[in-house]
Structure 1
Amino acid sequence: MDFFTSIPTHIDYVGQAKAEKLYRAIITLFSIVGFIWGYIVQQFSQSVYILGAGF
């Protein structure tokens, strides 16, 4: 999680900064899981579905 805390955010409110970091972490997690699952089942559409679930 140190990677996410090192990303500069230009937001005035603490809660908004936390929400932005959480959003980035969720999208990153779903993209990694989607890529791995898509590779295992050899279907790109599965990767897209999982990434879409993260949004």
Structure 2
Amino acid sequence: MQGLKAENIIYADNASVQTDENTIKAEFDEPQRAVTKGQALVLYDGDTVVGGGTIC
């Protein structure tokens, strides 16, 4: 997956993403700062939104 964003700031260009019926688990390639419960995580493939959810 490419281009994960939290609160309109690109935190990582690449991350590992696992999904099941109700959850998305994203692991960033590099440690991230200031990612907080309640923020939105949006998954992009280039400029196309392919998924997202609320960080908990």
TM superposition score category, shorter chain reference: under 0.3
RCO comparison, higher one (Cα < 8 Å, 6+) = 2
Instruction: State the structure with more CA Rg.
Output: 1
In proportion to residue count, which structure has more strand? 2
The two structures have a TM-score, normalised by structure 1, of: 0.21
In proportion to residue count, which structure has more helix? 1
